[in-house]
Structure 1
Amino acid sequence: MPVSSSPRLFFLRHGETDWNVEGRLQGRRDVPLNPEGRAQAARAGRTLRKLLASAGLVPQDVAFQCSPLSRTRETLAIARRELGLPAEGGDLDDRLVEFTFGRWEGLTWPEVCASDPGLARAREADKWNFTPPGGESYAQLAERLAPWLAEQRQPSVVVSHGGVARALMRMIGGLREERAPTADIWQGRVLVFSGQRFDWR
């Protein structure tokens, strides 16, 4: 399934939120960064500065693209400041928004298991294709991202979410469907997609 070619993408997951700390399913809920999340965004920005330099790029050479949720927009603003750029800048793209957990958003996984034990077991059995009630599956997320990925023509900094990162790992890097939904996704680091490979920095 990996795409045949793709420009280099420097992917930043948004920094930490209080819901991340509490283990709550955020999905499309607009939860802000906490102080640690802002520190992580700055750290990712400093790493990004080094990565761009090592690739022979300056910040003006790359596009900046972002999910419209506030936690990603603030992460982008902080990272841009670390690059010596104005905080404002970059294109918001609804296709980069996190997938939705539907009625499960705001719950912890133990709460989901208690309220919907059958559906929780079904998701554990096939995380890639399972659709939460009123939500979206990883497979549907990948379908949403496919046109966006096909449009990429230049190196880009992409600030988005854990689910989007996992879908791109499948779409670009060929990670298996059963592996992609459980791949580790870090905050405060940069995920570099180059060719048909990906690597955390």
Structure 2
Amino acid sequence: MATTNRYTFLQRLLHWLIALLVFGLLMAGLGFWALGYEGLKGLLGDEGVNTVYMLHKSFGILVLLLTILRLVLRFRTPPPAYDPPLGLIERLVGGGIHLLLYVFLIGLPIGGWIATAASGYPIQFFGMTLPGIIGENKELGEMMFTYHGIGGLIVAVLLLIHIAAGLKHWKLKDGIMTRISLP
């Protein structure tokens, strides 16, 4: 397939890097939900659980930054044409899923940042402490962590739809997957 029908290498690299990071963040979030703080503490100890939370916050902020970079690149370099063209329904559903993923990959880290700050915890980014977006408000923090978890579940569903569509196109061998593949 011609290179004009592919995203740039940097766009493709960012896609797969963000996908890997989001998968890890969702797995960690599932662990937080399933085990809770005390369960994680019993499994990993104080230092281990603090490291897991610090890494979750750090990688979440990294996803925010990489997603913003990906959007900037997308506006500077429009997506390649579909070859063969997609039907109207596929374009609408695919475009809607992509839009929702972008919204959530920006909104979830910001919501997590707000929840963390409101709960009185440090905003950690790989050893640095960043400023909180808002002041301490335990009730708001608890509510925001609930929304953060629900948002994570929504992202998981959106990703399942996105992956299913990718597998469909891969099975059809219609060339759509070459737009975003790395090699």
With normalisation by structure 2, the TM-score equals 0.31
With normalisation by structure 1, the TM-score equals 0.29
Structure with more of its chain in helix, by fraction? 2
Which has more radius of gyration? 2
Structure with more of its chain in strand, by fraction? 1
